[in-house]
Chains A and B, each alone.
Chain A
Amino acid sequence: MEAAQNFMELSKQVVGFIYPNEIDIQWSILIVVYPYITGLVAGAFILASLVKVFNVKELQPTYRLAMLTALAFLLIAPLPLQLHLGRPERSYEMFITPNLSSAMAMFGFVYLWYLMLVLLLEIWFEYRRDMIVWSSESTGLKKWVLKFLSLFSTDISEKAVAFDKKTVKIITIIGIPSAFLLHGYVGFIFGSIKANPWWSSVMMPVAFLFSAIVSGIAMVMLLYMIMVPLRGGKIDMKCLDKVASFLFYVVIVDFSIEVLDFIHRLYESEESIKILSQLVTTKLFMSLVVLQILMGMLLPLGLMVVIKVFRLQEEVRKLLYFVCGLLIQLGIFSTRWNVVIGGQLFSKSFRGLTTYKMELMGIEGFLVALALLIIPFVILSILIKLLPPWKKEELAGVE
């Protein structure tokens, strides 16, 4: 009875014809959260790699923060996937009997590779010397936690530290393609579905990758602007300007890719164009045109042009950077929404549109999604406490 009522309600929202089984939206808000989170991981890592591999010295103050941010989000990344499974208790099968032709089956391996061999290893080598020093300076539980985290190593000789530095660089070099793999592969999961013209595009992994870099850099910028004053430090404007400058260029690349994709679709005007136009102008108008393009991309782009053209004062710049960072997060989250949810709102018969009604409470509902977005910040605050990204003299602005 309840099912029938539910159906009646849903069928009222359907425009045109959909295949009967399409009444359910299969991938919910949790699957929106997942690529958003992995995107932040990949983006934050790319920012960190600018310091270590490309020797952009100005960005040094963001390096450790970026690594810790990447780790905090990566730890949560599998959770939305796990929670959305129909049979979560069987998820281990993906490791035991992976189907090698399935992009999704590679998730566990890509994830573990990235977590274990890139992030954890790099952070360990980066912090090894400091952890030894800090543990000798602290007492009680913290001493032992740091001792444990440093895996009880004790060598802080110059030779050992030089080895650490070299290793960090090598891992970063391996890490860049790995970060590309992590998020490009998420794009491939969608881009390789030929049944779905909204998803099926060779540009999808590339678009995912650049939007990931955009969101990751913007997130680290925001966190840097919040965390440094919170820890009693002074924001290094040289660093902030440089981060914003990289952000600006990546946003331009990302925007170009999306415009290219849009023009290409419009010009080729394939069978699906009518239903996709209808989708964009009705169900996705708010999230795609207003939130993603106007507010999440063009507005911050415009603001950054203003900052670049007019030599604004430090305080104004800071404020505008902060607003840009927030708008970009909003925009990239909308991007994920428009891909994941948007791709399911039209019928594969190309004759109708359906609707997604987000639950509030349920396991695939709004509150769980919100919790999944908050937990990484909690993890990050613990990580920052345990492994401070900045030394006291750095915070004071002394080189």
Chain B
Amino acid sequence: MDRRDFLKHFCWVISSGGVLGGGSADAWARMLNKTYDTTKHYYGMGIDIDKCIGCGRCMEACKTENDVPAVPYYFRTWVERYVIKTDRTVSVNTINMESDEPGDVLVEKDVLRSFFVPKLCNQCDHPPCVQVCPVGATFKTDDGVILVDSKRCIGCRYCIQACPYGARYLHPETRVADKCTFCYHRLVKGLLPVCVEVCPKQARVFGDMKSIASPLGRFTRMNKIHVLKPSLNTDPKVYYANLDGEVN
């Protein structure tokens, strides 16, 4: 199915009023792949902090795959670099965001610990963005992914305000909210999200939480797991292994 057909089908789904309610998400997926059954999956991602080397390939691949604006600040996924110095001060920056400022020149003895943290939409099980969207343009699919219906979004940006993780932005061309979809168009074809596919260190693990044998199932069995901002009760489905307490 090419892009044109996709949009046509998409318009049909909306005009039939299917977006409200759970049935819609299923329709969305079936439009992409007729044999795909949303009820058979529930997706999540695992990220091993100790494996990430901060190469930024995931960021690049994501921008290309998902038509994210080619500017150095809108991202569906990005990688933060944390440096905790011996005096306990923390400095953080996003890798590949060029800046005029000279970067921190660090002497090894001054560094207590340092690591990279890949970030993306946490595909929360209790998504605040879905709760606040006034028109139901952002919704949760049966297989657990939060999507934005770009044909319905009015661009009020309430969802961007409600997201605790800074995972959303207003697309400068379409003027609607945009965010990571776990590469949903790839998932329904049985492919992996592109960031997972290109990661040279397998720091990102993708899988089906309904299957104990999936790579994610194994990841969550073998590691101590933490999620971002657990106190907000959003129940993220991006699980971090070896996450430092400084990260938020």
Contacts and interface: CB of A to CB of B under 8 A. Distances in A.
Nearest to B17: A97
B169 interface: yes
Interface residues of A, number: 49
Interface in B111-125: 119
A11 interface: yes
Given A104-B156, A349-B92, A86 B176 contact: yes
A189 B159 CA distance: 12
B74 A195 contact: no
A349 B161 contact: no
B53 interface: no
A86 B232 contact: no
Interface in A312-350: 344, 347-350
A102 B73 CA distance: 28
A19 B92 CA distance: 10
A200 to B, nearest CB: 10
Given A4-B72, A27-B157, A86-B153, A349 B166 contact: yes
Contacts of A348: 163-166
B23 to A, nearest CB: 14
Contacts of A4: 71-72
A101 interface: yes
Contacts, number: 146
A193 B153 CA distance: 19
A55 interface: no
Nearest to A104: B134
A26 B211 CA distance: 39
Given A97-B136, A105-B134, A195-B164, A20 B75 contact: yes
Interface stretch (B41-49, B93-101, B181-189, B200-208): B93-101
B19 interface: yes
A86 B161 contact: no
A339 to B, nearest CB: 12
B158 A97 contact: no
Contacts of A98: 134-136
B155 interface: yes
Main secondary structure of the interface of B (DSSP, over half): loop
Contacts of A99: 133-136
B158 A7 contact: no
A97 B92 contact: no
B161 A26 contact: yes
A20 B157 contact: no
B78 interface: yes
Interface residues of B, number: 54
B248 interface: yes
B215 interface: no
B75 A86 contact: no
Given A27-B157, A194-B232, A350-B248, A20 B97 contact: yes
Interface string A63-97: 00000000000000000010011111011011001
Given A12-B100, A17-B92, A90 B232 contact: no
A11 B99 contact: yes
Nearest to B154: A90
A19 B130 CA distance: 21
A349 to B, nearest CB: 6
A350 B101 CA distance: 21
B86 interface: no
Given A94-B134, A98-B134, A194 B164 contact: yes
Nearest to A200: B232
B131 A20 contact: no
B238 to A, nearest CB: 15
A350 B247 CA distance: 10
Contacts of A103: 132
Nearest to A14: B99
Interface in A104-129: 104-105, 107
Between A11, A24, A102, the greatest number of chain B beta carbons within 10 A of the residue's beta carbon is seen for A102
Interface string B74-95: 1100101000000000111110
B158 A104 contact: yes
B158 A24 contact: no
A271 B246 CA distance: 12
A21 B128 contact: no
A196 interface: yes
Given A20-B74, A87-B176, A196-B161, A349 B133 contact: no
A141 interface: no
B135 A194 contact: no
Contact of A20 (B19, B78, B175): B78
A141 B136 CA distance: 47
Contacts of B137: 93
A107 B134 contact: yes
Contacts of B78: 19-20
Given A21-B169, A97-B135, 9 more contacts: A17-B94, A86-B177, A90-B135, A93-B152, A94-B134, A98-B134, A99-B134, A193-B161, A349-B92
Interface of B: 17, 19-20, 69, 71-75, 78, 80, 90-94, 97, 99-101, 119, 128, 130-137, 152-158, 160-170, 172, 175-177, 232, 248
7 tightest Cβ-Cβ pairs between the two chains A and B: A86-B155, A19-B166, A86-B175, A195-B164, A105-B134, A17-B92, A104-B134
20 contacts: A4-B71, A7-B73, A17-B80, A19-B119, A19-B165, A20-B97, A21-B73, A21-B74, A21-B75, A23-B73, A86-B155, A87-B175, A93-B137, A97-B152, A99-B134, A193-B161, A194-B128, A271-B248, A348-B163, A348-B164
